[in-house]
Protein backbone atom coordinates (compact mmCIF):
# COMPACT_ATOMS: atom_id res chain seq x y z
CA UNK A 1 0.00 0.00 0.00
CA UNK A 2 2.85 2.41 0.77
CA UNK A 3 4.22 1.87 -2.74
CA UNK A 4 0.80 2.65 -4.23
CA UNK A 5 0.61 5.85 -2.23
CA UNK A 6 4.13 6.82 -3.35
CA UNK A 7 3.20 6.34 -7.00
CA UNK A 8 -0.01 8.32 -6.54
CA UNK A 9 1.86 11.22 -4.97
CA UNK A 10 4.41 11.18 -7.79
CA UNK A 11 1.61 11.30 -10.37
CA UNK A 12 -0.05 14.23 -8.58
CA UNK A 13 3.26 16.07 -8.44
CA UNK A 14 3.71 15.67 -12.18
CA UNK A 15 0.16 16.91 -12.77
CA UNK A 16 0.89 20.08 -10.80
CA UNK A 17 4.33 20.80 -12.31
CA UNK A 18 4.38 23.05 -15.42
CA UNK A 19 5.98 21.51 -18.49
CA UNK A 20 9.44 22.85 -19.35
CA UNK A 21 8.56 22.61 -23.03
CA UNK A 22 6.05 25.45 -22.78
CA UNK A 23 7.75 28.70 -23.91
CA UNK A 24 7.56 31.51 -21.37
CA UNK A 25 6.48 33.89 -24.14
CA UNK A 26 3.45 31.74 -24.95
CA UNK A 27 1.53 31.23 -21.70
CA UNK A 28 -1.16 28.56 -21.76
CA UNK A 29 -4.73 29.72 -22.00
CA UNK A 30 -6.99 28.98 -19.08
CA UNK A 31 -9.38 26.21 -19.98
CA UNK A 32 -11.94 27.15 -17.34
CA UNK A 33 -12.07 23.53 -16.20
CA UNK A 34 -11.66 22.82 -12.53
CA UNK A 35 -9.22 20.23 -11.26
CA UNK A 36 -11.43 17.24 -10.33
CA UNK A 37 -9.09 16.54 -7.43
CA UNK A 38 -9.60 20.02 -5.98
CA UNK A 39 -6.82 21.67 -3.98
CA UNK A 40 -3.65 19.68 -4.63
CA UNK A 41 -2.04 20.45 -1.27
CA UNK A 42 -5.22 19.26 0.47
CA UNK A 43 -5.24 16.07 -1.58
CA UNK A 44 -1.60 15.30 -0.78
CA UNK A 45 -2.20 15.96 2.93
CA UNK A 46 -5.15 13.57 2.89
CA UNK A 47 -3.20 10.85 1.08
CA UNK A 48 -0.30 11.09 3.50
CA UNK A 49 -2.68 10.80 6.45
CA UNK A 50 -4.35 7.79 4.84
CA UNK A 51 -0.94 6.15 4.42
CA UNK A 52 -0.22 6.54 8.13
CA UNK A 53 -3.71 5.65 9.42
CA UNK A 54 -5.79 3.88 6.74
CA UNK A 55 -8.38 2.38 9.09
CA UNK A 56 -9.11 5.76 10.66
CA UNK A 57 -9.27 7.84 7.50
CA UNK A 58 -11.08 5.26 5.38
CA UNK A 59 -10.40 6.84 1.95
CA UNK A 60 -7.40 7.71 -0.18
CA UNK A 61 -8.77 11.00 -1.54
CA UNK A 62 -10.80 13.77 0.14
CA UNK A 63 -14.42 14.09 -0.97
CA UNK A 64 -15.15 16.24 -4.02
CA UNK A 65 -17.22 19.44 -4.13
CA UNK A 66 -19.79 17.53 -6.19
CA UNK A 67 -20.25 15.07 -3.34
CA UNK A 68 -20.45 17.98 -0.89
CA UNK A 69 -23.27 19.47 -3.00
CA UNK A 70 -25.08 16.12 -2.96
CA UNK A 71 -24.69 15.93 0.83
CA UNK A 72 -26.42 19.30 1.18
CA UNK A 73 -28.97 18.90 -1.62
CA UNK A 74 -32.45 20.00 -0.57
CA UNK A 75 -31.33 21.17 2.88
CA UNK A 76 -32.85 24.51 3.94
CA UNK A 77 -31.19 25.98 7.02
CA UNK A 78 -32.59 28.92 8.97
CA UNK A 79 -31.56 31.40 11.64
CA UNK A 80 -30.93 29.61 14.92
CA UNK A 81 -30.41 26.16 13.41
CA UNK A 82 -27.56 23.98 14.65
CA UNK A 83 -25.41 21.91 12.29
CA UNK A 84 -22.95 19.22 13.39
CA UNK A 85 -20.34 17.56 11.20
CA UNK A 86 -18.64 14.28 12.09
CA UNK A 87 -15.14 13.74 10.74
CA UNK A 88 -14.64 16.96 8.74
CA UNK A 89 -11.15 15.79 7.72
CA UNK A 90 -9.60 18.46 5.50
CA UNK A 91 -12.87 20.41 5.30
CA UNK A 92 -14.22 19.22 1.94
CA UNK A 93 -17.84 19.35 3.14
CA UNK A 94 -17.18 22.09 5.69
CA UNK A 95 -16.22 24.71 3.11
CA UNK A 96 -19.49 24.43 1.16
CA UNK A 97 -21.56 24.06 4.32
CA UNK A 98 -20.17 27.28 5.79
CA UNK A 99 -20.81 29.08 2.50
CA UNK A 100 -24.49 28.16 2.83
CA UNK A 101 -24.82 28.56 6.59
CA UNK A 102 -27.28 31.40 7.28
CA UNK A 103 -26.56 34.18 9.72
CA UNK A 104 -27.39 33.16 13.27
CA UNK A 105 -26.95 29.42 12.64
CA UNK A 106 -24.40 27.44 14.67
CA UNK A 107 -21.80 24.98 13.38
CA UNK A 108 -19.74 22.43 15.31
CA UNK A 109 -17.26 19.98 13.82
CA UNK A 110 -16.18 16.84 15.66
CA UNK A 111 -12.82 15.46 14.53
CA UNK A 112 -10.88 12.76 16.38
CA UNK A 113 -7.69 12.90 14.30
CA UNK A 114 -5.29 15.50 15.82
CA UNK A 115 -3.66 16.14 12.43
CA UNK A 116 -6.95 17.01 10.73
CA UNK A 117 -8.21 18.86 13.82
CA UNK A 118 -5.24 21.22 13.68
CA UNK A 119 -5.70 21.71 9.95
CA UNK A 120 -9.39 22.59 10.41
CA UNK A 121 -8.66 25.11 13.14
CA UNK A 122 -6.18 26.88 10.88
CA UNK A 123 -8.44 26.77 7.82
CA UNK A 124 -11.64 27.86 9.59
CA UNK A 125 -10.43 29.82 12.64
CA UNK A 126 -13.85 31.38 13.25
CA UNK A 127 -15.56 28.00 13.81
CA UNK A 128 -15.44 25.49 16.64
CA UNK A 129 -13.93 22.04 16.14
CA UNK A 130 -14.04 19.56 18.97
CA UNK A 131 -11.18 17.07 19.24
CA UNK A 132 -12.99 13.90 20.16
CA UNK A 133 -15.48 11.25 19.06
CA UNK A 134 -18.91 11.56 17.47
CA UNK A 135 -20.63 9.73 20.33
CA UNK A 136 -19.83 12.77 22.52
CA UNK A 137 -22.29 14.91 20.56
CA UNK A 138 -24.94 15.21 23.28
CA UNK A 139 -22.43 16.23 25.94
CA UNK A 140 -20.86 18.73 23.56
CA UNK A 141 -24.19 20.35 22.69
CA UNK A 142 -25.17 20.64 26.35
CA UNK A 143 -21.80 22.09 27.31
CA UNK A 144 -22.16 24.81 24.67
CA UNK A 145 -25.81 25.45 25.44
CA UNK A 146 -27.00 24.50 21.95
CA UNK A 147 -30.32 22.96 20.94
CA UNK A 148 -30.82 19.80 18.93
CA UNK A 149 -29.27 20.03 15.45
CA UNK A 150 -31.44 20.03 12.33
CA UNK A 151 -28.59 18.63 10.29
CA UNK A 152 -25.83 16.17 11.11
CA UNK A 153 -23.51 15.21 8.26
CA UNK A 154 -20.80 12.61 8.50
CA UNK A 155 -17.58 11.82 6.71
CA UNK A 156 -16.79 8.92 9.04
CA UNK A 157 -15.73 5.53 7.60
CA UNK A 158 -18.68 3.62 9.07
CA UNK A 159 -18.06 0.55 6.92
CA UNK A 160 -14.70 -0.05 8.58
CA UNK A 161 -16.07 0.26 12.13
CA UNK A 162 -17.09 -2.66 14.36
CA UNK A 163 -20.82 -2.96 15.09
CA UNK A 164 -20.39 -1.72 18.67
CA UNK A 165 -18.94 1.60 17.48
CA UNK A 166 -21.59 1.96 14.77
CA UNK A 167 -24.25 1.42 17.43
CA UNK A 168 -22.75 3.98 19.82
CA UNK A 169 -22.50 6.70 17.19
CA UNK A 170 -25.96 6.06 15.72
CA UNK A 171 -27.57 5.93 19.16
CA UNK A 172 -25.96 9.24 20.12
CA UNK A 173 -26.96 10.71 16.74
CA UNK A 174 -30.59 9.59 17.09
CA UNK A 175 -30.87 11.05 20.59
CA UNK A 176 -29.21 14.35 19.63
CA UNK A 177 -31.00 14.99 16.32
CA UNK A 178 -34.03 17.29 16.15
CA UNK A 179 -37.33 15.53 15.47
CA UNK A 180 -37.44 17.27 12.08
CA UNK A 181 -33.70 16.88 11.52
CA UNK A 182 -31.70 14.97 8.92
CA UNK A 183 -28.64 12.77 9.32
CA UNK A 184 -26.53 12.24 6.20
CA UNK A 185 -23.50 10.17 5.42
CA UNK A 186 -22.18 8.56 2.26
CA UNK A 187 -20.96 5.23 0.95
CA UNK A 188 -19.07 3.94 -2.06
CA UNK A 189 -20.99 1.66 -4.45
CA UNK A 190 -17.87 -0.51 -4.74
CA UNK A 191 -18.23 -1.22 -1.01
CA UNK A 192 -22.03 -1.67 -1.03
CA UNK A 193 -21.94 -5.44 -0.40
CA UNK A 194 -19.05 -5.43 2.05
CA UNK A 195 -19.97 -6.78 5.47
CA UNK A 196 -19.28 -3.53 7.32
CA UNK A 197 -21.32 -1.45 4.88
CA UNK A 198 -24.29 -3.82 4.97
CA UNK A 199 -24.13 -3.98 8.75
CA UNK A 200 -24.12 -0.18 9.06
CA UNK A 201 -27.23 0.18 6.90
CA UNK A 202 -29.07 -2.47 8.94
CA UNK A 203 -28.11 -0.79 12.21
CA UNK A 204 -29.18 2.62 10.86
CA UNK A 205 -32.65 1.26 10.10
CA UNK A 206 -33.05 0.45 13.80
CA UNK A 207 -32.56 4.12 14.63
CA UNK A 208 -34.43 6.00 11.88
CA UNK A 209 -37.86 5.57 10.30
CA UNK A 210 -37.19 7.30 6.98
CA UNK A 211 -34.23 6.79 4.71
CA UNK A 212 -33.17 7.05 1.09
CA UNK A 213 -30.03 6.97 -1.05
CA UNK A 214 -29.05 9.40 -3.79
CA UNK A 215 -27.96 8.73 -7.32
CA UNK A 216 -24.28 7.94 -7.72
CA UNK A 217 -22.01 10.97 -7.64
CA UNK A 218 -19.50 10.05 -10.34
CA UNK A 219 -17.30 13.13 -9.91
CA UNK A 220 -15.72 11.77 -6.77
CA UNK A 221 -12.84 9.33 -6.20
CA UNK A 222 -14.25 6.75 -5.90
CA UNK A 223 -17.88 7.43 -6.96
CA UNK A 224 -20.23 7.71 -3.99
CA UNK A 225 -23.88 7.73 -2.90
CA UNK A 226 -25.41 9.88 -0.16
CA UNK A 227 -27.42 8.07 2.51
CA UNK A 228 -30.06 10.23 4.20
CA UNK A 229 -31.94 9.37 7.42
CA UNK A 230 -34.71 11.22 9.26
CA UNK A 231 -37.47 10.80 11.86
CA UNK A 232 -35.49 9.30 14.75
CA UNK A 233 -37.04 6.20 16.31
CA UNK A 234 -37.84 6.62 19.99
CA UNK A 235 -36.41 3.65 21.84
CA UNK A 236 -38.19 2.45 24.97
In the 8-state DSSP scheme, what is residue 177?
Answer: S
Q: Which of 22-26, 119-123, 148-152, 192-196 has the lowest mean pLDDT?
A: 22-26
Classify residue 145 by burial, with Cβ atoms within 10 Å: 0-12, 13-18, 19+. exposed
For residue 61, name the pLDDT band (cuts at 50, 70, 90).
confident
Domain spans, the chain: 1-19+37-52, 65-232
Q: Which CATH superfamily is domain 65-232 in?
A: Vaccinia Virus protein VP39 (3.40.50.150)
Give the whole-angstrom CA distance, residue 230 versus residue 209.
7
**Helices 40-52 and 2-16, interaxial angle, to 10°?**
170
CB 188 within 8 A of CB 222: yes
Q: Are 138 and 168 in contact (CB under 8 A)?
A: no
Of the two residues 33 and 160, the one the predictor is more confident about is 160
- What's the confidence (pLDDT) of residue 234? 75
Give the helix/strand (H/E) hosting 198.
Answer: helix 195-205
Q: What is residue 90's DSSP assignment?
A: T
| Partners of 148 in beta bridges | none
Burial label for 63, CB within 10 Å (0-12, 13-18, 19+), is buried
Q: Which helix (H) or strand (E) holds 98?
A: helix 92-100
pLDDT at 30: 46
Q: How confident is the model at residue 41 (pLDDT cuts 50, 70, 90)?
A: low
20-24, 65-69, 102-106, 197-201: the lowest-pLDDT one: 20-24
Mean pLDDT along residues 19-39 = 47
| In the chain, % of residues over pLDDT 70 | 74
DSSP character for 134?
G
pLDDT at 12: 43
Q: Cα 69–75–81 angle (5° rounding)?
A: 120
CA distance linking residue 228 with residue 185, whole number of Å: 7
Closest CA to 48 of 94, 13, 97, 87: 13
Tell me the per-residue pLDDT of 151-189, one tens digit each, with 9 for 90 and over.
Answer: 999 999 999 999 999 999 999 999 999 999 999 999 999
Parallel, antiparallel or unpaired: strands 151-154 and 225-232: unpaired
| 56: pLDDT strictly greater than 60 | no
* pLDDT at residue 21, rounded to an integer: 47
Within 10 A of 178 (CB to CB), how many other CB atoms are there? 16
Q: Does 3 have pLDDT greater than 50?
A: no
The model's pTM is 0.78
pLDDT at 40 (0 to 100): 53
Mean pLDDT of the chain: 83
Closest of 138, 118, 143 to residue 129, by C-alpha: 118
Average of per-residue pLDDT across 35-44: 51
What average pLDDT does this structure show over 118-141? 97
Amino acid sequence: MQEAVRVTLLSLHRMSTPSKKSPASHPKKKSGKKNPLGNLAEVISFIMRFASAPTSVGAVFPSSRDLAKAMLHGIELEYGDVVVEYGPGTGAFTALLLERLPEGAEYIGIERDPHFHGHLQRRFPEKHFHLGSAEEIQELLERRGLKKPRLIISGLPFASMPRSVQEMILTATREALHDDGVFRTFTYPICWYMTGSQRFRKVALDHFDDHHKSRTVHRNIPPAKVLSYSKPVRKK
